[in-house]
Chain A
Amino acid sequence: MAGWTSRGHRLGIAAFAAGLAVLPALLPNEYYLTVLIVAGFHTILTLGLNLLMGYAGQISLGHAAFYGIAAYTTGILTARFHWPVPAGIAAGLALVLLVSAGIAVPTLRLKGHYLAMGTLGFGIIVYIVLNEATDLTGGPSGLTGIPKLGLAGVTIASDLHVYYVVWGAAFLLFLLAQNLVRSRLGRALRAIHTSETAAAVLGVDTERYKIGVFILSAVYAGVAGALYAHYVTFVSPGSFGFHASVQFVTMVVLGGMGSLWGAVAGAVFLTALPEVLRAIEDYDILLYGGLLILCMMFLPGGLAEGAERLARGVRVLAAGGTPAASGRTR
């Protein structure tokens, strides 16, 4: 993979951090900041989902449910039972961990598509419960009065501060994911993706790794969901349905499965796109579907692969050749 030397890698990380730090100063107004904050939630979730899809070769159609479970758990505990915000968030993450293990154990022991269907069904159950358990969740009209983020009496209220918290978390989770995929675990996951049988023969405990990465990806979604709840202070079931799960899968696919940079790009791009193209409001679902099909057919590596091809083309052009002559080396 290009740019995978450790120097280039460190440079990339440093540029990412610097970019995140100065970006707010370059924005023309507050509105862009809110878009970026939402993109931050999506980035966190997409990073986790990308670990599952790109590295373990499994797909979840219920990640919006984990996003929602964490958001509602911390929302209910802090708004109704007056728990401190960090305790609420911790409880939300703990519940996500438990529930995702409950899904992963039966479905990931089986080969093939069972996780996809299992998570799709699970997502729908959660959506139904959020709507029906009115006493607890507020039902279809939502849960209000969730406190802002805060720690030990200090409330983080301004958008700028929330931006730094959210993208700080995203950055740390990016580093965690990066280290994970370059570790023994990452190699095992890639082996599973390439050939599960071969990996198992070589002594990789495929079942345990797949379950582990699924739970981790659910917890990423939980982190995003908990931060989201304390940012918007109001949650309703609509944000956590099938549509949202598909949106997250599209972010991963468009960015490029198996590329963490791609996950960031896909999340930011697809969060910003509807803001730019207000006119597509009703058509966005068609856009997601179309992107999924076209990416898989023509650009399976997503934006990450596209950028790589482009860079290679530019290098070849600069060297006096033609892009066609470079071919694909993979």
Chain B
Amino acid sequence: MPAPSDILQYVISGATLGATYGLAGLGFTVIFNTTEIINFAQGEFVMLGGMLAVFAIRWGGLPLALAVLLAIAVTTLVGVAVDRITIRPVRGRSVIVLIIITIGVSIVLRGAAMLLFGKDTYPLPGFSAGEPIGFLGASLLPQSLWVGGITLCALAAMKLYFDRTISGKAMLACACDRKAASLMGINVDTMVTLSFALSALVGALGGAILAPITLTSYDVGILLGLKGFAACILGGLGNPFGAVAGGVILGVLESLSAGLISSGYKDAVAFVILLTLLFVRPSGLFGRRAAERV
């Protein structure tokens, strides 16, 4: 039987990882709500957040904070470009066409990162120096506090955006009913572009805050994207805050199973959970409505 402090340690590191899954999941949700597209390139936004920050420091010599902001800004622009170049011209085509295009986009982004940055794994410095903090026998990395704090701030900002701003409400309106929204004078095309931007932004944020803990490389996007999607399903697809909660739960389960069962199989945990959930409860833990059945 492992000591309680070990368990606590697994929970802490799992929740830290899970925050990034949650942010990736949040990105899926934002795009899904306005377009009903599952964006397979979501994980690449997370990868770009980490990798661009690393290379803004290595090549541009930027200070860390500026590098992270630049990485997030550039990834957001990539999100806009993805929508304008590849998604908008094929709007209204069948689901499979849109899926294939986002898969193509994810491969191109990953391939471009490989050619540009190489196949090595890179560290990003922690956001603040300092020793791990002891906490009930477990140790807490300062970066974990950053991850938790930034994730909560991002959530609060999203909440304000959707509740208090015209464009946030317009985006929600598109999520409810695109045709009605467009009849009310909302420019749905703009809202779709905006949702890609927002989703790239939160994805990149998740990637940048996680990189100091897990290191990053050009190919981290596949797994992070998938786990983000699993987080979405866990929280109920379409529910942004459920996605973040789902991500944290997923991260904790993954970390516990790595610690207590086998670390080799830890990446499989997320997908076993995903498949099980799809089987027994496709609407997720916090899902309000049932997922659409045939």
A128 within 8 A of B: yes
Residues of B within 8 Å of A207, CB to CB, are: 294
- Binding stretch for chain A, among B56-64, B105-113, B243-251: B105-113
User: Does the CB pair B90–A285 fall under 8 Å?
Assistant: no
Q: In whole Å, how far is B191's beta carbon from the nearest beta carbon of chain A?
A: 21
User: Does the CB pair A117–B229 fall under 8 Å?
Assistant: yes
User: Does the CB pair B95–A242 fall under 8 Å?
Assistant: no
User: What is the interface size of chain B, counting residues whose CB is below 8 A from a CB of the partner?
Assistant: 48
User: Does the CB pair B278–A106 fall under 8 Å?
Assistant: yes
User: Does the CB pair B278–A293 fall under 8 Å?
Assistant: no
Q: Bound complex: CA of A193 vs CA of B95, how far in Å?
A: 10
User: Does the CB pair B230–A283 fall under 8 Å?
Assistant: no
A124 within 8 A of B: yes
Among residues of B, the one whose C-beta sits closest to the C-beta of A107 is B278
Among residues of B, the one whose C-beta sits closest to the C-beta of A257 is B96
- Binding stretch for chain B, among A51-59, A78-86, A89-97, A320-328: A51-59
- Binding stretch for chain B, among A108-116, A141-149, A310-318: A108-116
Q: Bound complex: CA of A122 vs CA of B270, how far in Å?
A: 10
Q: What bracket does the count of chain A residues touching chain B fall in?
A: 35 or more
Among residues of B, the one whose C-beta sits closest to the C-beta of A206 is B294
Q: In whole Å, how far is A230's beta carbon from the nearest beta carbon of chain B?
A: 28
B86 within 8 A of A: yes
Q: In whole Å, how far is A192's beta carbon from the nearest beta carbon of chain B?
A: 9
B97 within 8 A of A: yes
Known contacts A106-B279, A113-B38, A124-B226; is-contact A290 B272 (Cβ 8 Å): no
User: Does the CB pair A289–B105 fall under 8 Å?
Assistant: yes
Among residues of B, the one whose C-beta sits closest to the C-beta of A197 is B294
Q: Bound complex: CA of A289 vs CA of B272, how far in Å?
A: 28
Known contacts A111-B293, A120-B226, A290-B108; is-contact A59 B271 (Cβ 8 Å): no
User: Does the CB pair B96–A57 fall under 8 Å?
Assistant: yes
User: Does the CB pair A285–B110 fall under 8 Å?
Assistant: yes
B99 within 8 A of A: yes
Q: Bound complex: CA of A61 vs CA of B262, how far in Å?
A: 26
Residues of B within 8 Å of A117, CB to CB, are: 38, 226, 229, 233, 274
Q: Which of B135-178 contact A (CB under 8 A)?
A: none
Residues of A within 8 Å of B291, CB to CB, are: 110-111
Q: Which of A186-212 contact B (CB under 8 A)?
A: 193, 196, 200, 206-207
User: Does the CB pair B111–A200 fall under 8 Å?
Assistant: no
Q: Which of B67-117 contact A (CB under 8 A)?
A: 86, 89-90, 93-97, 99-101, 103-108, 110-112, 114-115
Among residues of A, the one whose C-beta sits closest to the C-beta of B38 is A113
Q: Bound complex: CA of A122 vs CA of B226, how far in Å?
A: 11
User: Does the CB pair B38–A292 fall under 8 Å?
Assistant: no
Known contacts A57-B96, A109-B293, A124-B223; is-contact A292 B104 (Cβ 8 Å): yes
A238 within 8 A of B: no
User: Does the CB pair A253–B100 fall under 8 Å?
Assistant: yes
User: Does the CB pair A118–B265 fall under 8 Å?
Assistant: no
Residues of B within 8 Å of A288, CB to CB, are: 104, 107
Among residues of B, the one whose C-beta sits closest to the C-beta of A199 is B294
Q: Bound complex: CA of A292 vs CA of B233, how far in Å?
A: 26
Q: Which of A112, A116, A193, A286 contacts B292 (CB 8 A)?
A: A112
User: Does the CB pair A282–B115 fall under 8 Å?
Assistant: yes
User: Does the CB pair A121–B226 fall under 8 Å?
Assistant: yes
Q: Which of B36, B108, B110, B267 contacts A293 (CB 8 A)?
A: B108
Q: Which of B107, B223, B275 contacts A289 (CB 8 A)?
A: B107
Grouping DSSP codes into helix (H, G, I), strand (E, B) and loop, the B interface class, with mixed when no group exceeds half, is helix
Q: Bound complex: CA of A53 vs CA of B233, how far in Å?
A: 24
Residues of A within 8 Å of B264, CB to CB, are: 128, 131-132
Known contacts A114-B278, A128-B268, A249-B100; is-contact A109 B294 (Cβ 8 Å): yes
Grouping DSSP codes into helix (H, G, I), strand (E, B) and loop, the A interface class, with mixed when no group exceeds half, is helix
Residues of B within 8 Å of A206, CB to CB, are: 294
B282 within 8 A of A: yes
Q: Which of A112, A114, A196, A296 contacts B101 (CB 8 A)?
A: A296
Residues of A within 8 Å of B108, CB to CB, are: 286, 289-290, 293
Among residues of A, the one whose C-beta sits closest to the C-beta of B276 is A106
Residues of A within 8 Å of B107, CB to CB, are: 246, 285-286, 288-289, 292
User: Does the CB pair B294–A200 fall under 8 Å?
Assistant: yes
Scan A118-160; emit 1 where CB is below 8 A from any B CB, else 0. 1011101100110110000000000000000000000000000
User: Does the CB pair A249–B103 fall under 8 Å?
Assistant: yes
A168 within 8 A of B: no
User: Does the CB pair A103–B275 fall under 8 Å?
Assistant: yes
User: Does the CB pair A292–B103 fall under 8 Å?
Assistant: yes
B222 within 8 A of A: yes
Q: Bound complex: CA of A292 vs CA of B102, how far in Å?
A: 9
User: Does the CB pair A121–B104 fall under 8 Å?
Assistant: no
Most buried by B among A57, A117, A286: A117
User: 10 closest pairs, A vs B, by CB?
Assistant: A289-B107, A292-B104, A121-B271, A106-B279, A286-B111, A293-B104, A289-B108, A132-B264, A113-B38, A285-B111
Q: A289-B110, A292-B100, A293-B101 are in contact. List 18 more A-B contacts (CB 8 A).
A: A59-B99, A106-B279, A110-B282, A110-B294, A111-B292, A111-B293, A112-B38, A113-B95, A116-B38, A118-B278, A124-B223, A196-B294, A200-B294, A249-B100, A291-B104, A296-B93, A296-B100, A300-B97
- 13 CB-based A-B contacts, threshold 8 Å: A57-B94, A106-B278, A109-B294, A116-B40, A121-B274, A122-B271, A193-B94, A283-B111, A285-B110, A289-B103, A292-B107, A296-B90, A300-B93
